[in-house]
Structure 1
Amino acid sequence: MKRNFYLQHSLMAMNDPRMKHLLEVEGLRGLGAYWMIQEKLALLPEPRAQFGYLRPYCHSKKSPFAYLKKIIMEFQLFEIDEDGYFIPLELNPVKKKEKKSAKNIRESSDSNAKNVEKWQKTSKNNLKNQAKNPDKSLINSTISETSTSSFKENIKDIITATAKEKETAAATAEDLPSPVRNDPPTVCNDSPTVCNNSPVACNNSLTVCDDSGRPQPPLHPVRPWQELVDSLTEESSWLELACMQSGYGGLLMRHIKAAVDLFKQHIEVYDKWHDLLTNSDVRRYFVNYVKAGQHTSQTLYATLLTLDAKQRSVAPPDPYRYEQHINGKRTYLGCPIPDNAPPRPDGTAFWNETTHTWSSQGHT
């Protein structure tokens, strides 16, 4: 129970380069998000959880779920395992444990060798004493043989155990994962994957390997939200469908750049940019922004109507405004117009094949 009410916080946490990088990029808001995640993990039996575990704690606009996910994935402060669980990494990790263990093994081996040398010297001295005192040697012969055989067995076991320890230490050193580097991601050109727990930016993607060297699904760097919003002006079938849902698709398509600029202002005013991390997020929000019946869509429609009327008043009228172009051919009311015919003068005019002129109602 005590563990659920207290969270150990190292006083040297901010000396870790990753924490310094987090403070530089996200400020105090990023630090607060990091320790919030640590607190929620401390409530679990084990400090590991999937991303969905944090969603119930993101009921406020000031702590969006996408922002917590960004803190977990971008600053190398958490590790994501094969099952999709994220685990907090140690701050200021000690990197000398392997050297200490190897040093202890060498010291143990040296001490065992010294014990063997001492035993050999003792054995030689005993042989000399037996030669000088044959009576005592006969009395203690049984004890000497027993102790000698027992000591030899012990020495043999010690040497065998030492050799096994060396083999185990060597195998463990090979299996140990490389320590996580706190350096910024390295940019490469041709190599698509770099392991050893080091995220490397390759061709606008990040590939991370687990402890066994197996590559994980690629992670794409988060693009600025302004750049994602600007991509909405690119012509695509998705944009046509979005315009159709607005109810004024033709008007919206003609002034799509102005609509996107107004959309940017809306995002900044309502502080919605924290939730826009991918193209899908931006498109989903834009469709809701222009959807028929929404207050934002009605405001946008009125603004675009004013802009359209202003442009029409400034620009000269289109002489072909009473005609339709179908597959590159001029037509009116479904009738073809000769290529050399002048523009149709009004909405009631029809083409006279005899005089090769336009005739309107009330005019000959």
Structure 2
Amino acid sequence: MKRNFYLQHSLMAMNDPRMRNLTEEEGLKGLGAYWIIIEKLALLPEPRAQLEYLRPFCSSKKISFAYLTKIILEYELFKLEEDGYFSAKELNPVKKREKKMAENDGKLTDSKPKNDEKQQKMSGNNSEIQAENPANSLENRESTKQTTDSFKENIKDIITSSAKEKETAADDDANFPIVRHSSLTVCDGSGRPQPTLQPVRPWQELVDELTERTPWLEAVCMQSDYGTLLMCHIKEAMGCFKRHIEIYDKWHDLLTQSDARRYFVNYTKTGQTAQALRATLLAIDARQQSAAPPDLHRYEQLVNGRRTYLGCPIPDDAPPRPDATAFWNEATHSWNSQNATPERSKRHT
């Protein structure tokens, strides 16, 4: 029970280069997201889980599932396993040499009582020798003092050289900025590298890119029963698609461009969603046509900059052709039509 209520937090966690990179790139939001993931893993009997385990703990207002997935995949703070599970990597891992030193310290601790007895015996012998040879004791003190002074001088040299190295490194960073790569290389069980994992992008960006006129979009419009209408009002269609995603909470599943494309094809091709989209686009098209001013020359053709109708030229000062049955009368200088009265067809002078 104690493990479920307490979580060990290393005081040196922020000294790990990966944690510093996370804080620089994401700020306190990314740092908080990391510890949220660690806390949720600590609730499990074994600190490893699949990505879907985190979904119930997410909400669109506080922190999203896509953002937690980004923290897991991009900053090398978690180990990805072949079975789809992930687990936290150790922060500031102890090097092999330090582990050996720790093991040796343990062995020295076990042998300390024996060494104490030997030291006591040696101390007794040394006191007898020093009593017999006081001159040698004085020489040893002077030698010890010289060694101490030499050690202090070496420490000063080390500190001075370290400061110079830091200044040189700072100059190098200013002249040659460090480029951080956020991609993560994943290997299989045989050590072979797998395709590089790409950062998780906002689903709105993935949907907005679908409006670009590409061969894929033209094929999608051809497969639907209202291809011309869909292509003419593709931006309005994407707006309806976004509202559908938000209403049915489907944005969690849109992690890549391929996910957005597959979902849009199903949305426009079959079912009630396609029928509702077609009706919405027809209404938008009707409103636009009714709001647009009528074209006065819609019954004429422009050929090489000259007004014509049925291959016949129209005088420059003639009014617009009133309908498709009208013809120009040179004698009266007016349009004669079966659907219009002569008064309305006369030339304006």
Q: Please state which structure has a larger fraction of its residues in helix.
A: 2
- TM-score norm. by structure 2 comes to 0.49
Greater relative contact order structure (CA < 8 Å, 6+ sep): 2
- TM-score norm. by structure 1 comes to 0.47
